[in-house]
Chain A
Amino acid sequence: MAKESPVQVPDKIQDKQSLADSPVFLEINNVTKIFGSAVAVQDFKLQVRKGEFVSFLGSSGCGKTTTLRMIAGFELPTSGTVMLDGEDITYQSPNQRNVGMVFQSYALFPNMTVGQNIGFGLQVRKISKTEIKQKVDEMLSLIHLEQHIDKYPYQLSGGQQQRVALARALAIQPRVLLLDEPLSALDAKIRVELRLEIRRIQQQTGITTVYVTHDQEEALSLADRIVVMSQGHVEQVGTPSEIYNHPTTEFVASFIGQLNLLPVENVDLKNGACTLGGQMVRFDHSEPRPVGETPRLAIRPEEFQFGQAEGHNVLKGRVENVMFLGAVVRLRINVRGALLSADLFNERAMSLPRVGDVVMVNFPAHACWLM
C-alpha cells in the first residue's frame, strides 16, 4: 500500500474553481475516424482545460480508445483536428507530440530495469546522466517505489508495474497524460488503491489527463468530467454528479448505475403526473426532457424506501426476489406486471420481506423522471 502523500491535495471545490478559470488546453474538433466501412468515432468534439481530469467512458467498441489513440498520434483522424496548447497536432508523429501514455498492458520494456524504463524518454531527449538520475529518483519517490530502482519489470507485481509505467510517462513532463484502461488488468483491491494513487499524482502534478475506462465507478470517482460514449459518438459530457443524477439520454441513464424503466400510462407532462399499474405517480418535470413514444418512468433503485412517507409517491407490489448483498438488500417487486428493482440499505434490526409478501415502497417525486 502506498504511503500517504506529503503533498496537500487541493480542496475539491477550490480545484473545480481553478479548473473553470484554466484556459482550454486540448481541443478535439469534429473528429471522425472510419476504418474501412466501420465508423469508429463520429464528429467527436471536446475541450479539455489545463489540469483537468477527463474520463472517456463507454462499453467496448464505443470509440473511446480510438479517440485517445488519435490524441496520442497512433491513429490519424479521417476528418477533424486535434489541437494541443494552441498547436495543431493532428498529423504530428507520436514521438513529436510530448504526450505521455499509459497502457493497459503496462508496456514496460522487459530488457530494462525500473530506473532505465523511467529514464528512457529522458535518454531519448539526450538529457545529461545527472539530470536523468535526479528525475528518476524524483519519479520513484512520487510512486513510492524507491527501493525497486534496479529491478526488472518481471520482478514487480502488476500494480507496481503500472505505477512504474505512470512514472515513465510523467518523467518526460508531457503536455497531456493519456491512460488507456490502466487498471483493467489488475485485481479489484489493487485497482481501488491505484485509482487513488493516480488521482493523487494527477492532482499533485496538475497534469491535464485523459483517462479511458469502461468501469463507471472508476470514471465517477476519478474524473472532473466524464465523456460518455456510445457507438462512436458522444452521448453526454458532464461532471460525475451531472452524469449520474441528470442523464440526458436513455443510454446514459441506463449505462451509469442501475435504472428502472417502468411503463406508465395517463401521462400529464404539464403537471408531472402519470399512473403506474393503476397507482398515481408524480415525477420531476422541472426540466423539459424528450419523452419516447411509449413513456417510461425512470428511477434509480436506491431512491426507494420501505413503507409510506408524507408527500412521497407510494407503490404497492408483490416481492418476487430478495437478494442480500451485504450493505444493500435488492428486491424485485412486481407492481401489477411492471418489475422494479429497489435497493434498500441493510440494517441489523431490519426484518427482510419474503418472496410473495405484499410490500409498499415510497420515493420522492424529484427522484424520478419520464423518458
Chain B
Amino acid sequence: MKRNTFWSWFWLAVGVLYFILPLIATFLFSLRAKKGVLSFLAYEHVINDPSFWESFLFSLVVAVFTILVSLLLVVPTAYWIRLRLPQLRTMIEFVTMLPFVIPAIVLVFGIIRVYSGAPFHLTSTFIGTDSLLVAAYAVLALPYMFRAVDSGLGAIDIRSLTEAAQSLGANWFTILFRVIFPNLRVAILSGAFLTLATVIGEFTIASFLVGIHAFGPYMSLIGQNKTYEASSLTIISFGLTWAFMGLLQFITRGRAESLAGAH
C-alpha cells in the first residue's frame, strides 16, 4: 500500500515536472528583457500593445461562437444517433475524426476556393470571413466536441430520460434543452475547454482568413520579431486561457458537482 502511494506520487511529480519545467524556463527567459536584471519589461511591452488585446479578444469571441455552433451541431446529432440511429455511430465517429487526418491548410484552401467566388462571396466582407473562421473552427473542434458529448451521453440513460420526459408531456425542444443539455454540462464543459484552447492558439486557418487579427498569427509575428516579448506572450496567453477555463468551471461549478455525483 505504502509502496503504491510512493510510486503514485513519484509518477505524478514526473508528470508535473514535464509540464512545468518548460513553462518555468520560458517564464525565466521572459524576465531577461533588461540586461543584467530580472524584470517584467517584456510583459509591459506586450500588455501595452493594443494589437495584443485586440487579437486576444477577437480569438476569444471567435472561440465562444465556435463553442456555441459546435454545441448546436454536435449535441442534437450525437443525441439522435444514440437514441434512434445507433448503427450510424461508428460512421459518424469516423467523420468527426477527419480533421485530425486532413491538414488545416487543405481545409482553409478549400474554404477560400468555395466561398470567395460566386455564388457565396463570403470572403469579401469581414462578417463573412469571421463566419467562415467560426465554421472552420467548428470543423476543427469536431473530434473534441463529439467525443466529449458522446461519452457524456453514454454516461446517462438517454433513452429512459427521453421517454420519461415524453410521457410527462415534453416535446423534443423541451427534452433537448431542459433534460439533455443540462445533464451534459460536464461533457460540454470539457469539449468547450478543448475547443477554446484550440481556437485561441490556432495559426494556419486564422492566418489565411483574418491574418494578425487573430491571436495565433499575432503570437507568431511577435515570435519572429521580438525575443523576450514572445516568451512573455506565451506565459500571458497560457495564463489567460487557464483563467478563462477556470471562470467557466466556476460558473458551472454547483451543477457540475451535482451531475458528477449522479453517475
Instruction: Identify the A interface with B (CB < 8 A).
Output: 72-74, 93-101, 103, 105, 107-111, 120-121, 124-125, 152-155, 165, 168-169, 172, 174, 178
**Distance of A153 Cα from B161 Cα, bound (Å):** 13
The answer to whether B170 and A95 touch across the interface, beta carbons within 8 angstroms, is: yes
Q: Which of B164, B179, B255, B261 lies at the interface centre, i.e. has the most chain A CB atoms within 10 A of its CB?
A: B164
Contact with A along B157-174 (1 / 0, CB 8 A): 100110111111111001
Task: Assess whether A110 is in contact with B167, with CB atoms less than 8 Å apart.
Answer: no
Partner pick for B161 among A97, A109, A178, CB 8 A cutoff: A109
Mark out the residues of chain B between 146 and 195 whose CB falls within 8 Å of any chain A CB in the assembled complex: 156-157, 160-161, 163-171, 174, 178-179, 182-183, 185
CA distance A169 to B165 in the complex (A): 10
Instruction: Name the contact of A107 in the complex, choosing from B157, B178, B185 (C-beta under 8 A).
Output: B157
How close is B83's CB to chain A, nearest CB, in angstroms? 11
B174/A169 in contact, CB under 8 A: no
B262 touches A101 (CB 8 A): no
B125 interface hit (Cβ, 8 Å): no
B262 with A154: CB separation less than 8 A = yes
How many Cβ-Cβ contacts under 8 Å join chain A to chain B? 83
Chain B interface secondary structure, helix, strand, loop or mixed? helix
Chain B hits for A121, CB < 8 A = 168-170
Instruction: Specify the chain A residue showing the minimal Cβ separation from B164.
Output: A107
Q: What are the residues of chain B within 8 A of A154 when measuring CB–CB?
A: 258, 261-262
Give the nearest-CB partner of B160 in chain A: A107
* Chain B residues proximal to chain A, CB less than 8 Å: 156-157, 160-161, 163-171, 174, 178-179, 182-183, 185, 255, 258-259, 261-263
Cβ A103 vs Cβ B166 within 8 A: no
Could you pull out 9 A-B pairs where Cβ atoms are within 8 angstroms?
Answer: A72-B167, A95-B166, A96-B169, A107-B163, A110-B259, A111-B258, A120-B168, A152-B258, A152-B261
Count chain A CB atoms within 10 A of each CB in B157, B258, B259 and give the residue with the most. Answer: B258
Report the minimum CB–CB distance from A146 to chain B (whole Å).
21
Say how far A155's CB is from chain B's closest CB, in angstroms: 8
Q: Which residues of A contact B157 (CB under 8 A)?
A: 105, 107
Known: A95-B168, A121-B169; 4 extra A-B contacts, CB below 8 A, are: A72-B167, A95-B170, A95-B171, A107-B163
For B161, list chain A residues within 8 Å (CB).
Answer: 107, 109
Residues of B within 8 A of A152 (CB): 258, 261-262
Q: Verify B160–A172 contact, CB threshold 8 A.
A: no
Contacts of B183 in A (CB 8 A): 109-111
A72 to B159, CA, bound (A): 14
Given A110-B156, A152-B262, A154-B258, does the pair A103, B163 have CB atoms closer than 8 Å?
yes
Given the known inter-chain contacts A74-B163, A107-B160, A111-B182, please indicate yes or no for A124 contacting B258, CB distance below 8 A.
no
**With A152-B258, A152-B261 in contact, do A100 and B165 touch (Cβ < 8 Å)?**
no
Chain A: which residue is nearest B167 at the CB level? A101
Asked if B164 and A125 make an inter-chain contact with CB atoms under 8 angstroms apart, the answer reads: no
Nearest-CB residue, chain A, relative to B168? A121
Assess whether B169 is in contact with A98, with CB atoms less than 8 Å apart.
yes
User: How far does the Cβ of A11 sit from chain B's closest Cβ, in whole Å?
Assistant: 32
Q: Which residues of A contact B156 (CB under 8 A)?
A: 110
Chain A residue contacts of B259, Cβ below 8 A:
110-111
Instruction: Give A95 Cβ to nearest chain B Cβ, in Å.
Output: 5
Task: Kindly list the 4 A-B residue pairs having the minimum CB-CB distance in the complex, ordered from nearest.
Answer: A121-B168, A110-B262, A107-B160, A107-B164
Instruction: Kindly identify which residue among B160, B167, B171, B185 contacts A100, using a CB–CB cutoff of 8 Å.
Output: B167
